[in-house]
Homo-oligomer: A and B are copies of this chain.
Amino acid sequence: VQRIPVPLAGAPYEVWVGAGALEQLPEMLARACPAARYAVIADSAVADLYGDRVRTLAGAVAPATLFTFPAGEANKTRERWRDVTDAMLTSNIGRDGAVVALGGGVTGDLAGFVAATYHRGIPYVQVPTTVLAMVDASVGGKTAVDTRHGKNLVGAFHQPRAVVADVGLLATLPDNHARAGLAEAVKHGAVADRAHFARIERSGAALLRHDVEALTEVIADSVRIKAGVVADDEKEHGRRAILNFGHTVAHALERVAGYALLHGEAVAIGMHVEARLGERLGITEPGTAAALERALIKLGLPVTQSDHAPEALVSAMIHDKKSRDGTVRFAFLKRLGQAAAGDDGSWTVAAPQDAVLRALEP
Residues of A in contact with B (beta carbons under 8 Å apart): 10, 36-37, 78, 82, 85-86, 89-90, 92, 94-96, 116-121, 142-144, 147-150, 152-157, 235-236, 318-319, 321-326
Contacts and interface: CB of A to CB of B under 8 A. Distances in A.
Given A36-B324, A89-B147, A94-B322, 20 more contacts: A78-B78, A86-B147, A86-B149, A89-B149, A89-B153, A92-B326, A94-B321, A94-B323, A95-B322, A95-B324, A96-B324, A116-B156, A118-B154, A119-B153, A120-B144, A120-B152, A120-B155, A120-B157, A121-B156, A121-B157
B324 A94 contact: yes
Contacts of A148: 86
9 closest Cβ pairs, A-B complex: A89-B149, A120-B155, A119-B321, A117-B154, A96-B324, A95-B321, A94-B324, A78-B82, A120-B156
Nearest to A95: B321
A67 to B, nearest CB: 15
A92 B18 CA distance: 43
Residue among A118, A121, A153 with most chain B CB within 10 A: A153
Contacts of A154: 85, 117-119
Query: Main SS of chain A's interface residues?
Result: mixed
A36 B329 CA distance: 16
7 contacts: A36-B324, A36-B325, A90-B149, A92-B323, A94-B323, A117-B154, A119-B154
A197 B150 CA distance: 51
Given A78-B82, A324-B94, A117 B117 contact: yes
A153 B88 CA distance: 11
B153 A156 contact: no
Given A82-B78, A89-B153, A147-B89, A325 B118 contact: no
Residue among A90, A154, A324 with most chain B CB within 10 A: A154
Nearest to A117: B154
Residue among A89, A143, A157 with most chain B CB within 10 A: A89
Contacts of A142: 120
A197 to B, nearest CB: 28
Contacts of A150: 89
A4 to B, nearest CB: 24
A119 B157 CA distance: 10
Nearest to A327: B94
A144 B153 CA distance: 18
A157 B10 CA distance: 15
Nearest to A323: B94
Nearest to A89: B149
A85 B148 CA distance: 12
A105 to B, nearest CB: 15
A34 to B, nearest CB: 13
Nearest to A154: B117
Contacts of A325: 36-37, 94, 96
A288 B160 CA distance: 43
A142 B121 CA distance: 11
B324 A156 contact: no
Contacts of A319: 92
A301 to B, nearest CB: 28
A251 to B, nearest CB: 13
A236 B95 CA distance: 11
A144 B319 CA distance: 27
